[in-house]
Amino acid sequence: MTNILFVSSSPRGAASQSTKVAEQLVAGIRAEDPSATVTRRDLARHPLPHVDEAYLGAVFAPAETHTPEQTKLLALSDELVAEIQAADVIVIASAMINFTVTSQLKAWFDFIARAGKTFRYGANGPEGLVTGKRVVVVEAKGGIYSDGPMKPHDYQQPWIRFILGFLGMTDVEIIQVEGQAMGPERAEQGVAEAAEKAGATARALVGRRAAA
Ligand SMILES: Cc1cc2nc3c(=O)[nH]c(=O)nc-3n(C[C@H](O)[C@H](O)[C@H](O)COP(=O)(O)O)c2cc1C
């Protein structure tokens, strides 16, 4: 059975193309594999707090000294980490806001990056501990960043790839929904290309899991 973790993060609600294409991808996986389960984390509707002094105090304090507030803050991080650890496939819908991920998605990564749980520093430097996952990221953006003059200013895709790899998730596919602020025609083209890729990705993912 495939456990899917579906993380969405666009503040644009029902208008979000990253969420819509990611929904299609998840539906495609479930069409191929009806036994697949889905855990949803809607970070825009249910935002996480920011990592702050209270949280960092909890992370670094010995367990026996934790206050009820520190226990609560760590329980949230533990729950998010448990969700990624339990998933076989992680689908992340990411809207580009001011050239990078939303603060909601950044907060999620801040809570799942836990020294000793999801990464550690060893003799050979950092080692990601979240291994064996297949990750698909659906990124929606107003402009075109895959090629052309804006390419160096995509701070969404390189960062997502890097932080996932830092945590051990290296089997990553990215589906881009580009040109969403470039007029209806270009926007539709971006959605159609991404939807097609989502369908193919769903079939390939289920095929690969069946063959494994
Ligand atoms: C506040 C705001 C900031 C944005 N910043 C950028 C940006 O820096 N670059 C860009 O290409 N598009 C930008 N956009 C356009 C969004 O990336 C685009 O609408 C995309 O479809 C958002 O993803 P979503 O459809 O999943 O919500 C911005 C949109 C909003 C609302």
CATH number, domain at 89? 3.40.50.360
Q: Tell me, what's the pLDDT at 209?
A: 66
- Provide the residue-wise pLDDT of the chain in tens; the chain has 212 residues: 799 999 999 999 999 999 999 999 999 999 999 999 999 999 999 999 999 999 999 998 998 999 998 898 899 999 999 999 999 999 999 999 999 999 999 999 999 999 999 999 988 899 999 999 999 999 999 999 999 999 999 999 999 999 999 999 999 999 999 999 999 999 999 999 999 999 999 999 887 766 77
Q: Is 19 in the pocket of ligand 1 (CB under 6 A)?
A: yes
User: Measured from the CB, is residue 180 less than 6 Å from ligand 1?
Assistant: yes
Q: Which tokens is 212 given? A: 């494994």
Q: Do 11 and 106 touch, CB atoms closer than 8 A?
A: no
Query: How many CA within 13 A on the CB side of residue 195?
Result: 9
Q: Are 3 and 98 in contact (CB under 8 A)?
A: no
Domain, as residue range, for 170: 3-211
Dist. CA 89 → ligand 1 center (Å): 26
> pLDDT at position 73, please?
85
Position 22, amino acid:
A
Ligand 1 center to residue 9 CA distance, Å?
12
Domain count, the chain: 1
Question: Smallest Cα–Cα separation from 19: which of 1, 39, 38, 44?
Answer: 44
Which of 97, 90, 98 is CA-nearest to residue 12? 97
Strands 125-128 and 37-42 turn out to be unpaired
> How many other CB atoms sit within 10 Å of the CB of residue 20?
21
Cβ 156 under 6 angstroms from ligand 1? no
